[in-house]
């Protein structure tokens, strides 16, 4: 059977026709009988790319905005002002304020990106919560090495453990995947630390030459979900593959999860990363997804609020825009279900609240806090029921799968004239225009065209204009470079955006 699986996977990779192979699961399609009746309650909106949430002992909910601050959801409403005292984060693309965890003594732990475009790193910030502020804050841990390339998140989810330690999912910068197999850095690793940011003495690699003592497991790629099953103490992790090969893994101390030696995914240009999906000494995933769903978070549903879901995992999906329910039996998937597809929103975080209900954050500049309520909504509930946004929401980082293989430069020129020429010129200078000249944009560092007064955010962004960076910027200008003075609406249609990029590229490089 393994040789058949390899052949099918090879065909899927080389033809770009991704198939879900070798995963014996039943997926409930639209229209099929649902496993649990529920409705979606909207609790709050207007969040600036919310990333994570955690409850205080009194029931208040803290919500972290990646490009904003730490907000409080209290007595059924979102407080308008963020807490004072949050760390000064480097906020661009997928970086900013990230995960949050609350200790029993009102200590707040935050992961965030620290530094500048030319030297940024993941960091853990610890502070004391006073009710309206964070005080006595300090950074207790920093990942290494620094990154000076296109910024992807380099520290992600935290998970507190009963022994007063916690795990940190430290993610891989894909431009440096050659470093993941080395043990003198934090790329592609799961770390275990105490609450002072120090490696516990019983970590699996303590005392081994050339190995950082805080490493708990390695060979992961962009892990963004961590949860512990209190029934048996097992720890589970979700991570993003590149193009396909997302995984749900059972974490074990000292274990190797294979990246990039084994993977079910291909690189973004279609090239093969590895022809191996398994190898001796490498832990196989419990579940993998091809094509990618881009898992963002992980929760385990326990208790009696949802009888049809008890014991199931819930995975937030960014690219796939749904909440995925996964049922395992003896560590193997037996059933999967796609929920919230009708909302058509990227799911950034999913958590099981102290009330036993599932809470969800949507990934957008007008992000929402949602709660899944069992049963059917009553007449009085209808006003609080979440509805799909009126306007389709574009991806912050761009949806590569929706880019046309052959961009339409003619349409790109037409779109540029309709959307951009009121502010920008195509000339050797910017005199008399609202925005800078876009002639020779490709290869140019952002904020450097002569004759134009740029915002500080643009000048200091460290961005060099290319196919990718221009696509990201047009998809969400304020999301990609927070503080930019560009006021144009995002180009939410992926194909249109890519055609504009192709037209500007056709005009020549810097």
Q: What is the pLDDT of residues 263-290, one digit of tens each?
A: 999 987 678 999 999 999 999 999 999 9
Which residues, 6+ apart, have CB-to-CB distance to 89 below 8 Å?
95, 96, 97, 112, 113, 114
Q: What is the pLDDT of residues 284-317, one digit of tens each?
A: 999 999 999 999 999 999 989 999 999 999 999 9
Question: With bands split at pLDDT 50, 70 and 90, how would you rate the model's confidence at 90?
Answer: confident
What fold characterizes domain 400-506?
Cytochrome Bc1 Complex; Chain D, domain 2 (1.10.760)
In the predicted model, what is the mean pLDDT of residues 447-461?
84
b/e map 67-82, b = 16+ CB within 10 Å: bbbbbbbeeeebeeeb
- Give residue 148's pLDDT: 66
Give the separation between CA 292 and CA 107, rounded to whole angstroms. 36
Tokens 């009710």 — which residue?
131
Give the separation between CA 238 and CA 288, rounded to whole angstroms. 9
Q: What is the pLDDT of residues 236-250, one digit of tens each?
A: 999 999 889 999 999
Residue pair 157/227 in contact (Cβ under 8 Å)? The answer is no
Break the chain into its structural domains and give their ranges: 34-49+310-391, 50-156, 400-506
Angle between helices 494-506 and 409-419 (to 10 degrees): 100
In this prediction the pTM is 0.79
């Amino acid at each position: 059977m393994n040789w058949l699986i390899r052949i099918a996977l090879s065909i899927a990779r080389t033809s770009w026709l991704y198939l879900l192979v070798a995963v014996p699961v039943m997926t409930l399609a639209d229209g099929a009988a649902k496993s649990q009746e529920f409705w979606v309650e909207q609790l709050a909106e207007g969040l600036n790319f919310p990333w994570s949430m955690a409850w205080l002992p009194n029931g208040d909910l803290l919500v972290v905005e990646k490009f904003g601050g730490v907000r409080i959801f209290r007595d059924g409403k979102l407080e308008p002002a963020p807490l004072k005292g949050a760390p000064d984060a480097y906020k661009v693309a997928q970086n900013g304020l990230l995960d949050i965890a609350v200790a029993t003594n009102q200590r707040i732990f935050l992961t965030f990106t620290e530094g500048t475009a030319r030297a940024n790193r993941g960091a853990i910030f610890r502070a004391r919560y006073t009710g309206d502020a964070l005080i006595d804050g300090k950074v207790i841990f920093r990942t290494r090495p620094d990154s000076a390339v296109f910024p992807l998140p380099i520290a992600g989810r935290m998970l507190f453990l009963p022994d007063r330690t916690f795990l940190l999912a430290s993610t891989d910068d894909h431009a440096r995947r050659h470093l993941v197999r080395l043990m003198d850095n934090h790329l592609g690793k799961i770390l275990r630390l105490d609450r002072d940011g120090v490696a516990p003495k019983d970590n699996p690699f303590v005392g081994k030459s050339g190995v950082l003592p805080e490493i708990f497991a390695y060979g992961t790629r962009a892990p963004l979900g961590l949860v512990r099953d209190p029934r048996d103490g097992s720890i589970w992790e979700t991570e993003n593959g590149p193009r396909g090969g997302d995984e749900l893994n059972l974490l074990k101390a000292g274990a190797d999860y294979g990246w990039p030696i084994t993977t079910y995914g291909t690189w973004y240009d279609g090239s093969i990363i590895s022809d191996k999906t398994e190898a001796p000494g490498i832990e196989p995933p419990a579940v993998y997804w091809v094509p990618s769903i881009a898992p963002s978070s992980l929760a385990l549903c326990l208790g009696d609020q949802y009888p049809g879901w008890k014991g199931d995992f819930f995975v937030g999906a960014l690219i796939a825009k749904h909440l995925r329910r996964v049922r395992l039996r003896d560590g193997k998937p037996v059933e999967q279900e796609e929920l919230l597809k009708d909302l058509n929103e990227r799911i950034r975080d999913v958590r099981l609240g102290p009330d036993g209900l599932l809470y969800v954050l949507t990934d957008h500049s007008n992000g929402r806090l949602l709660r899944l309520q069992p049963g059917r909504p009553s007449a009085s509930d209808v006003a609080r029921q979440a509805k799909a946004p009126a306007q389709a929401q574009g991806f912050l980082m761009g949806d590569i799968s929706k880019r046309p293989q052959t961009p339409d430069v003619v349409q790109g020129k037409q779109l540029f004239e309709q959307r951009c020429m009121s502010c920008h010129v195509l000339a050797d200078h910017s005199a008399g225009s609202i925005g800078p000249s876009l002639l020779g944009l490709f290869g140019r560092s952002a904020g450097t065209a002569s004759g134009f007064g740029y915002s500080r955010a643009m000048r200091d962004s460290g961005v060099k204009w290319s196919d990718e960076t221009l696509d990201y910027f047009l998809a969400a200008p304020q999301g990609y470079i927070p503080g930019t003075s560009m006021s144009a609406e995002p180009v939410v249609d992926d194909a249109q955006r890519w055609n504009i990029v192709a037209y500007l590229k056709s005009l020549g490089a810097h």
